[in-house]
C-alpha cells in the first residue's frame, strides 16, 4: 500500500475493514459508557449526563450515528498522520487497529459535543413550536391543549429527515436563511426555502383543524 501512497483498490479494501472494526468497537464502548473513561484518560472530558448515557445504552441508532461520523472523520486523519507521515511504526508496539482507535478517540469528543448541541437546539425548537401551536398560549390556554400541541410537534419533527429538522430548529432559534445555508452547507438560500416550504405543506396535511401556526404558513 505504501508503494501507491496508501491509495487505490487495496487501500480502499483495507480502509473498509478498518472502518467496520472501528464502528463495532465504538458502538460497544458507547453501549457500556467505557468510551467516556477512555477520552478522560486523554484529558478530553465530556461529563455525560445520566440521560445521555441511557440513550447511548438503549438507542442503537444514536450509537450508529456517532460511530459513523467518528470513523468517517478519523479515517483521513489516520491515513495522513499514521501512514503517509509515518506516525505509526510496526516496531512501536501498537497494531494498526489500535492506533486507529486512538485516532477515533480524539475525534469522538467533538462529534459528541456537536450532537449534544444539536439535540438541545431541537429540544428548544420543539418547546417553542409547541407554544406557537397551542391556542392562546401564554394567556388562558388550558394545559391539556398545550400538552397536546407539544406532543404533536414532537411527532411532526420525527417524521422529517435530519436535514429538515436542523433547518426548522435553526429557523426557530432566529437564524436567517442565509446563515442556515452557511451553517448546514446548503447549496443556496433557495434550498433552505424549499425545505421549509415542503415541511409547511407536509404539516398542513397532518395538522388538525386549525392547521399549523401562522408563523409557518409562509
**Where are the domains positioned within the chain?**
2-118, 121-216
Residue 4: pLDDT band by 50, 70, 90 thresholds?
low
Predicted confidence at residue 194, as pLDDT, reads 85
Residue 181: pLDDT band by 50, 70, 90 thresholds?
confident
Residue 31: pLDDT band by 50, 70, 90 thresholds?
very high
Task: Give the predicted TM-score (pTM) of the model.
Answer: 0.57
Over residues 154-176, mean pLDDT = 71
8 A C-beta contact, residue 157 and residue 118: no
pLDDT at 150 exceeding the cut of 60: no
Predicted confidence at residue 2, as pLDDT, reads 54
- Per-residue pLDDT reduced to its tens digit, 78-117: 888 777 667 777 666 678 889 999 999 999 999 999 988 8
Among candidate residues 207, 195, 140, 205, the one with its CA nearest the CA of residue 171: 195
Over residues 112-129, mean pLDDT = 76
Among candidate residues 6, 4, 12, the one with its CA nearest the CA of residue 86: 6
* Neighbour-count burial of 2, counting CB atoms closer than 10 A to its CB (0-12 exposed, 13-18 middle, 19+ buried): exposed
Instruction: Give the count of beta carbons closer than 10 Å to the beta carbon of residue 181.
Output: 19
- Tell me the three-class secondary structure of the chain, residue by residue: CHHHCCCHHHHHHHHHHHHHHHHHHHHHHHHHCHHHHHHHHCCCCCCCCHHHHHHHHHCHHHHHHHHHHHHHHHHHHHHHHHHHCCCCCHHHCCCHHHHHHHHHHHHHHHHHHHHHHHHHHHHHHHHHHHHHHCCCCCCCCCHHHHHHHHHHHHHHHHCCCHHHHHHHHHHHCCCCHHHHHHHHCCCCHHHHHHHHHHHHHHHHHHCCCCCCCHHHCC
Minimum mean pLDDT range among 42-46, 74-78, 158-162: 158-162
Predicted confidence at residue 137, as pLDDT, reads 46
pLDDT at 22 exceeding the cut of 50: yes
pLDDT at 38 exceeding the cut of 80: yes
Residue 140: pLDDT band by 50, 70, 90 thresholds?
very low
Amino acid at each position: 500500500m505504501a508503494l501507491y501512497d496508501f491509495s487505490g483498490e487495496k487501500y480502499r479494501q483495507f480502509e473498509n475493514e478498518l472502518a467496520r472494526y472501528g464502528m463495532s468497537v465504538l458502538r460497544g464502548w458507547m453501549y457500556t459508557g467505557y468510551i467516556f473513561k477512555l477520552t478522560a484518560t486523554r484529558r478530553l472530558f465530556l461529563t455525560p449526563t445520566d440521560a445521555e448515557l441511557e440513550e447511548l445504552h438503549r438507542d442503537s441508532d444514536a450509537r450508529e450515528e456517532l460511530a459513523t461520523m467518528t470513523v468517517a472523520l478519523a479515517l483521513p486523519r489516520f491515513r495522513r498522520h499514521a501512514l503517509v507521515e509515518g506516525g505509526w511504526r510496526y516496531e512501536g508496539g501498537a497494531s494498526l487497529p489500535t492506533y486507529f482507535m486512538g485516532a477515533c478517540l480524539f475525534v469522538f469528543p467533538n462529534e459528541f459535543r456537536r450532537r449534544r448541541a444539536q439535540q438541545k437546539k431541537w429540544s428548544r425548537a420543539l418547546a417553542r413550536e409547541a407554544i406557537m401551536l397551542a391556542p392562546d398560549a401564554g394567556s388562558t390556554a388550558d394545559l391539556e391543549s398545550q400538552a397536546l400541541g407539544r406532543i404533536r410537534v414532537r411527532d411532526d419533527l420525527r417524521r422529517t429527515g435530519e436535514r429538515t429538522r436542523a433547518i426548522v430548529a435553526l429557523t426557530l432559534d432566529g437564524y436567517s436563511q442565509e446563515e442556515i445555508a452557511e451553517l448546514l452547507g446548503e447549496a443556496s438560500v433557495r434550498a433552505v426555502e424549499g425545505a421549509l416550504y415542503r415541511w409547511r405543506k407536509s404539516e398542513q396535511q397532518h395538522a388538525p383543524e386549525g392547521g399549523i401556526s401562522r408563523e409557518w404558513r409562509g
